[in-house]
A and B are shown apart, each in its own frame.
Chain A
Amino acid sequence: MELTNHFPALIMAVLLGISFLSPILYRWARKASAPALITSLSLALVMAIYLLFQVLQVGEFTYYMGGWPPPYGIEFRLDLIRVYMLLVVLAVSLWIMVYALKDLEHELKTEVMGWYYTLYALVVGSMAGIALTNDLFNLFVLMEICAISACAIISVKEDRACLEASFKYLILSAMGTGCFLLGVAMIYMVTGQMNYDLVNAALPEAVELYPNNMFAASALFIVAFGTKAALFPLHVWLPDAHASAPSPSSAMLSGLVIKIYAFALFIMFYQLFPRPLLESIPLNEILLWLASMGIMFGSIFAMVQVDLKKMLAYSSIGQIGYVFLGIGLDDTIAITGGFYHLLVHAIMKSMLFMCAGVIIYSTGIRQIKQLGGIGQVLPITMFAFTIGSASMIGIPGTGGLISKWYLALGALEIGRPIFVVIILASSLLNAVYYMPIIVNAFMQQEQFEYQVKPVPRQMLIPLFVGVAALVFLGVFSRPFIVLLENAVQLLF
């Protein structure tokens, strides 16, 4: 038994382990706690990279937790698309954490820092699990862990707005998990299985006998994952939650947490449900129009916001729509675009939240209209903000363009140019609300009148990394696209 065989389980174990250790470390060896968390995240990332190479070499494989095969044991499945998701989750969360170490000192009370590390590791660990798991009940458990710890990293700031927002999130997210559980029950009723592959094998027959069960289950799934991923019109919790949380949490929630549920829904559609079912119920059609409305309304709501972080949060509602659009278009190219956007948006939105975090850290400003002239005092931050916005709009040379290119190409491929128009219209709307911020930041003539605290280098370096990553994704996108195309093709 080699250690490398157990990497799928070890990733989870490392992350969950550090989440238990963090409070203890923080109490007795405060200096070691942050490096320990960073080390664990890096360790998990290294293991995930190893897994990627393994999958590229031998193709997809499964891993049984504790050596128990299904139907009794928990199965992890490692195929290209899941490993991709795992890598995105781990890489982006490591990156956010590096930034968070300094920012949190400012936003949180010192006593709760150790707990924050715990919660952070729990969120990351559960997301890694959601990406890999091949078992409905296990998915449910992980979703609960993720939801509760995500609520907690909002409320950890302990001010009124945060508590209110996290309570709202808790209720809606519990509703989502409830729907999911109900859906799982429906499926279990007719198939008697929990493992994806076994369910998938048993479903065609079950659909014949109990069609209503399956209709209900798929509707429940859309509601469940839609709520958690803030699919329009189930997004109502998101703006408050993402805007009031500490900035690293916002980056985490907007960048990764909502995406993992979109990914889970994708897995439901393409690995759990048999293809004929997907074709008999217009699930994709529903998803497409909900996504389109989300794209438009998210952007329109973002335009009228006065609070910077709230604007970014509304923008996320629009952007998650792109991912759902990719899934709904049901075409290799479009799904590739959707998943590429998942990565690009994870980076750009996290970076924009980090920029907002730096601005709040340094000046305490949250209102958009007070940002005039801030480019003179925080040039690096606003440069990063500019690149992030450019990517949001889809300016050439940034990753945002590539994902839009693929989504649009996919829409044309299946002969529906109307969705291209929606994508382009929303790009324009993005421009309308991001551009004035940048223009005012750099072009305002009067001096910036607020007090400015110097920004530590540790907060600025992650911004540079983000800028570099976005430009890299915009210019050297080919290997990622090829990888994703292969990954998606395997599912059809």
Chain B
Amino acid sequence: MGEATAITVILFVIFFPIIMTPVLMSVSARSEKLRNILAVITSAVTFLAVISLYSMVVRGDILQHTFFELLPNLEISIRLDVLSFSLAVIASFIWFLCTVYSIDYMAEEHGGSRYYPVLMFTLGSCLGIFLAGDFFTLFVFFELMSLISYILVVHEETEQALKAGYKYLVMTIIGGLALFFGIIITFEIGGTVSLGVGSIIDEGTLLGLLAFVCFLIGFGMKAGMFPLHVWLPDAHPVAPSPASALLSGVMLKTGAYGMFRVVFNAFSVEVLQTTNWDIVLGVLAVITILLGSAVALTQNDLKRRLAYSSVGQMGYVLLGLSVLNDNAITGAMFHIFSHAIMKSCLFLAAGAIIWKTGKRSISELGGIGREMPYTMACFSIAALAMIGIPPLNGFLSKWTLGLGALDANATVYVLVLLISSLLNALYYLPIIVPAFFEMVGENEHGPALRFNVRDAKPLMLIPMVILAIFTVIFGLSPINFPFDLSQMTMDFLLHGGNL
């Protein structure tokens, strides 16, 4: 693929969903069916277009292209390297599945004419974040995505949703401003914010530290890092389930992606290690992991428990990023993939259960596994992957992260990983076990049915099943596409130079 074609494809990937937004809006008034089909087609085409960039990425090419200067030295540019590609591919894939899932899920909900256009717009801006060529462009798309996804958060328009949404909005703006500050300092120090120049800040000055802290606040907020995670457990559960899956599965990753860019492009591994700022990240990551898992234990609302689990899981990625060696970076990268797959699967399954039974609290869901066996099977596989049972993908990411921690002689991190796995087991197993084995009484045909519901419709089931299968095959199987990409990314970031 030539450079010109690649630029066109990247532009297409970012702007096609955004252009489809008004189209979906206008179609919505005429035919809901057509709108749903168009939304699915949009996300599918976007996904395929992202895939088509693979041939370029696999060669190790880097594409950095400036369109115009917004201000002197401040550009609007795009960039494609293996890191951007990895994130874009997982994001657009999960998005496609969630859009398919939405069709049945949203059929009986209100406001579909608002939901689908916003969903597509968010897809475009999310891909814009991953494919941005400098911090300013990244910031623009980051804000766009964060603000637009507010509409997804408050979709239900209940009082609870509006309250959570307001919290989300305020935190987003604080994060955005911190990010803005960080970018300005970077610009002031280095005279550029392009991702194509390697480490922009190459000295550990006080101003540099301020920039690092600002970036940490801005991106950490999105990634649900302690102590900035407070919006997350409120905002993710109130959204419609496919949107929760996207918020937790994909949009959290934009924060992690941002931290990758900060560590490798705004600063460099050497700067962070000589100044010991990576330890700040490490400490916060450990707290995030333990706190997220511990609080998840106490939640009785199914989706809230999943949201807190996301907080803990994002901690893994940040932990890998703070250790900064081969295995740790590979593990962090791979965990981005695996968490996106596992958590979307869990949210979709939870959504199906809530949609069918109307029950959200875990204590009421005993016996659901007998009535919705496929849904619950997917849920269980993904939950086991979360705990880190081999041969599922969660095991592989924990294993790699653990190896990285041992390479860095940080045994305590391994301990943290183990404790958190134990905690994961403690809060996921009490959902799975009663779901299959709790008896609610018997009648002449066998065990009584508690909810009297049937399994989810195929269009809701298929995305879950696909995700569940992926958790299995992207575990220890020899053909592990995400793991290869993670290794390529690590190789590129740590050994391939920053350019």
Whether A412 lies near B173 (C-beta < 8 A) is: no
Does any Cβ of B come within 8 Å of A409's Cβ? yes
Does any Cβ of B come within 8 Å of A445's Cβ? yes
Q: In whole angstroms, what is the CA distance A108 to B154 when docked? A: 42
Whether B185 lies near A478 (C-beta < 8 A) is: no
Whether A396 lies near B144 (C-beta < 8 A) is: yes
Whether B69 lies near A478 (C-beta < 8 A) is: yes
Whether A431 lies near B173 (C-beta < 8 A) is: yes
Partner among B68, B69, B147, B178 whose Cβ is within 8 Å of the Cβ of A395: B147
Q: In whole angstroms, what is the CA distance A436 to B180 when docked? A: 22
Q: How far is the CB of A174 from chain B (nearest CB, A)?
A: 40
Partner among B157, B165, B184 whose Cβ is within 8 Å of the Cβ of A420: B184
B interface, over-half SS = helix
Whether A395 lies near B177 (C-beta < 8 A) is: no
Does any Cβ of B come within 8 Å of A427's Cβ? yes
A interface, over-half SS = helix
Contact with B along A474-492 (1 / 0, CB 8 A): 0101100110010000000
Kindly state the interface size class of chain B when it binds its partner: 20 to 34
Q: How far is the CB of A468 from chain B (nearest CB, A)?
A: 17
Partner among B69, B170, B178, B181 whose Cβ is within 8 Å of the Cβ of A408: B181
Complex contacts, A394 vs chain B, CB 8 Å: 177, 180
Q: Provided the pairs A396-B144, A443-B154, A482-B72 are in contact, do residues A405 and B184 lie with their beta carbons within 8 angstroms?
A: yes
Does any Cβ of B come within 8 Å of A303's Cβ? no
Does any Cβ of B come within 8 Å of A236's Cβ? no
Q: In whole angstroms, what is the CA distance A482 to B70 when docked? A: 11
Complex contacts, A432 vs chain B, CB 8 Å: 170
Does any Cβ of A come within 8 Å of B362's Cβ? no
Whether B144 lies near A439 (C-beta < 8 A) is: no
Name the residue in B68, B176, B184, B207 with the highest tally of chain A Cβ atoms < 10 Å from its Cβ.
B184
Does any Cβ of A come within 8 Å of B174's Cβ? yes
Does any Cβ of B come within 8 Å of A463's Cβ? no
Does any Cβ of B come within 8 Å of A397's Cβ? yes
Q: How far is the CB of A74 from chain B (nearest CB, A)?
A: 38
Contact with A along B167-189 (1 / 0, CB 8 A): 00110011011101100110110
Complex contacts, A445 vs chain B, CB 8 Å: 157
**Whose C-beta in chain B lies nearest to the C-beta of A482?**
B72
Does any Cβ of B come within 8 Å of A71's Cβ? no
Within B225-244, which residues are at the interface with A (CB < 8 Å)? none
Contact with B along A394-409 (1 / 0, CB 8 A): 1111000110111011
Contact with B along A351-366 (1 / 0, CB 8 A): 0000000000000000
Complex contacts, A395 vs chain B, CB 8 Å: 143, 147, 176
Q: In whole angstroms, what is the CA distance A393 to B173 when docked? A: 9
Q: Which A residues lie at the B interface, using CB under 8 A?
A: 393-397, 401-402, 404-406, 408-409, 412-413, 417, 420-421, 424, 427-428, 431-432, 435-436, 439, 443, 445, 475, 477-478, 481-482, 485
- Residue pairs across A and B with Cβ atoms less than 8 A apart, 10 shown, are A397-B144, A402-B70, A405-B180, A424-B178, A427-B173, A428-B173, A428-B177, A475-B70, A478-B72, A485-B72
Q: Which 3 A-B pairs have the closest CB atoms?
A: A396-B140, A412-B188, A424-B177
